[in-house]
């Protein structure tokens, strides 16, 4: 048996419905923004249950533009977690602000009990990540933002299809970012991103900013950028949105089988699942003793496990000037040594899960 990680060839093996819409698009020549992009933005805003969705070229751009729309810039500080994908911190850097890291908790999310000690007069925002498609303790983060008058910008790039307290990630913060990178729960055939907000004025600014600051063909209000979602991708996304619910159900079913079985192993630690939440399982992760040896063993047995990631952000060469060191964030450093990601995607089922469980059991026996 093979438990493969990359399901894209399967997902995109039959594209007839997408091709039909692409033909309509090609006939219309509506190649920059246009009605397909608008339609997708409306559908996505409704899905997240927010007033505005502004699509972008990537999730990284969505994060950068979200921060920029709030006026965050040089000499400002943004509090974030040290165990995310590079883009979370890269975006803070891109607007000239300083990332202030916080350690991760036992669910690999930002440790909300360690945020308050980092807040000072330079702090402008908290940027929590819905890491792996699970959610941080968002209510506590919202309380802190109120108490200290800070913006919250959610990195919901892995969170499309998740929920927490009956709301979607990306429906809590002031301006929030999503990604449709190929291995996200809602994915396109390349790159794509979205920004969500309930603020009319900010939305208006972002709609213009991501398209050169243009009011119309001959006039710009301010200097902007080109970060437009491609209409071809908006069509892929609209088709993906229809299947999203069933994808999340399948992933949760697989994850539950792993949770139920792996939590009995003394060499494995599975994170607690928050009540009142649904995860996307963009990554199914646990802490495994002898992780590196186990990874080799699983790969030898045709199980494509992965590591996300072996080096936390504060120990990356790129973070040198921030002056963190080994020991600055012990929890995330320990997790970087023990975390393993197992495939639970929608093209796998119970037999794949039991195969992985059996192999892990054999390894520790
Ligand atoms: C947590 C997180 N933030 C940001 C990004 C950046 O998104 P993109 O690859 O669409 O630029 C990603 C995904 O790649 C991500 O997983």
Distance 157 CA to ligand 1 centre (A): 5
Residue bearing the CA closest to ligand 1, atom 8: 59
Q: Residues 266, 270, 275, 279: what is their CA dihedral angle, to the nearest 10 degrees?
A: -160
Task: Give the pLDDT mean for 230-241.
Answer: 98
- Confidence (pLDDT) at 262: 98
CA distance 298 to 358: 11
Task: Give the pLDDT mean for 152-168.
Answer: 98
Distance 278 CA to ligand 1 centre (A): 20
- Ligand 1 nearest-atom number relative to CA 129: 1
- The SS3 assignment for 304 reads coil
Residue bearing the CA closest to ligand 1, atom 4: 87
Pocket probe mutation, ligand 1, options 67, 181, 230, max atoms within 8 Å of Cβ: 181
- Confidence (pLDDT) at 222: 98
Q: What is the pLDDT of residues 236-267, one digit of tens each?
A: 999 999 999 999 999 999 999 999 999 999 99
Question: In the chain, which segments carry CATH 3.40.640.10?
Answer: 8-238
Q: What is the pLDDT of residues 7-60, one digit of tens each?
A: 999 999 999 999 999 999 999 999 999 999 999 999 999 999 999 999 999 999
- Ligand 1 nearest-atom number relative to CA 130: 1
Query: Burial level of 300, CB count in 10 A (0-12/13-18/19+)?
Result: exposed
Q: Which CATH number fits domain 8-238: 3.40.50.720, 3.40.50.1820, 3.20.190.10, 3.40.640.10?
A: 3.40.640.10
Question: In the chain, which segments carry CATH 3.90.1150.10?
Answer: 244-364
Distance 286 CA to ligand 1 centre (A): 21
Distance 156 CA to ligand 1 centre (A): 9
Pocket probe mutation, ligand 1, options 61, 78, 87, max atoms within 8 Å of Cβ: 87
Distance 283 CA to ligand 1 centre (A): 13
Torsion sign (Cα): 229, 230, 233, 237 = positive
Torsion sign (Cα): 198, 181, 245, 238 = positive
**pLDDT mean across residues, the chain:** 98
- Alpha-helix residue ranges (DSSP H) falling in 71-112: 86-94
C-alpha to C-alpha distances, 20 to 29, 32, 43, 182, 231, nearest whole angstrom: 14, 19, 19, 21, 14
- Confidence (pLDDT) at 156: 98
- Ligand 1 nearest-atom number relative to CA 131: 1
* Structural fold of domain 244-364: 3.90.1150
**Residue whose token pair is 């899905």:** 47
Pocket of ligand 1 (CB under 6 A): 58-60, 84-85, 87-88, 129, 155, 157-158, 179, 181, 191, 193
Among residues of the chain, what percentage have pLDDT more than 90?
Answer: 100
- Confidence (pLDDT) at 139: 97
**Is-cis flag, bond preceding 276, omega within 30?**
no
- Confidence (pLDDT) at 322: 97
């Amino acid at each position: 048996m093979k438990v493969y990680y990359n399901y894209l060839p399967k997902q995109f093996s039959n594209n007839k419905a997408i091709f039909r819409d692409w033909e309509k698009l090609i006939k219309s020549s509506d190649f920059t923004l246009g009605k397909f992009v608008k339609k997708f933005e409306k559908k996505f805003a409704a899905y997240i249950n927010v007033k505005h969705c502004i699509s972008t070229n990537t999730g990284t751009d969505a994060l950068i533009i979200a921060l920029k729309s709030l006026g965050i810039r040089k000499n400002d500080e943004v509090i974030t977690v040290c165990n995310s994908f590079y883009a979370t911190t890269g975006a803070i850097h891109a607007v000239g602000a300083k990332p202030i890291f916080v350690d991760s908790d036992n669910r690999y999310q930002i440790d909300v009990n360690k945020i308050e000690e980092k807040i000072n007069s330079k702090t402008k925002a908290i940027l929590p990540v819905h890491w792996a498609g699970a959610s941080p303790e968002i209510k506590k983060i919202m309380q802190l933002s109120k108490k200290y008058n800070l913006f919250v910008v959610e990195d919901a790039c892995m969170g499309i299809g998740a929920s927490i307290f009956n709301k979607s990630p990306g429906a809590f913060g002031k301006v929030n970012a999503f990604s449709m990178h190929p291995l996200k729960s809602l994915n396109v055939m390349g790159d794509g991103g979205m920004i969500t907000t309930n603020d009319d004025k900010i939305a208006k600014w972002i709609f213009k900013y991501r398209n050169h600051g243009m009011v119309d063909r001959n006039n710009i209000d301010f200097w902007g950028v080109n970060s437009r979602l491609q209409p071809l991708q908006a069509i892929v996304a609209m088709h993906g949105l229809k299947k999203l619910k069933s994808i999340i159900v399948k992933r949760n079913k697989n994850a539950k089988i792993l949770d139920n079985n792996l939590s009995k192993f003394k060499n494995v630690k599975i994170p607690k699942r928050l009540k009142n939440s649904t995860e996307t399982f963009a990554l199914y992760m646990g802490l495994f003793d002898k992780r590196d040896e186990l990874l080799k063993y699983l790969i030898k047995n045709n199980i494509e496990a992965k590591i996300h990631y072996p080096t936390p952000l504060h120990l990356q060469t790129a973070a040198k000037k921030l002056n963190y060191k080994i020991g600055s964030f012990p929890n995330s450093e320990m997790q970087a040594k023990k975390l393993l990601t197992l495939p639970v995607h929608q093209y796998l089922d119970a037999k794949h899960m039991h195969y992985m469980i059996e192999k892990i059991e054999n390894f520790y026996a």
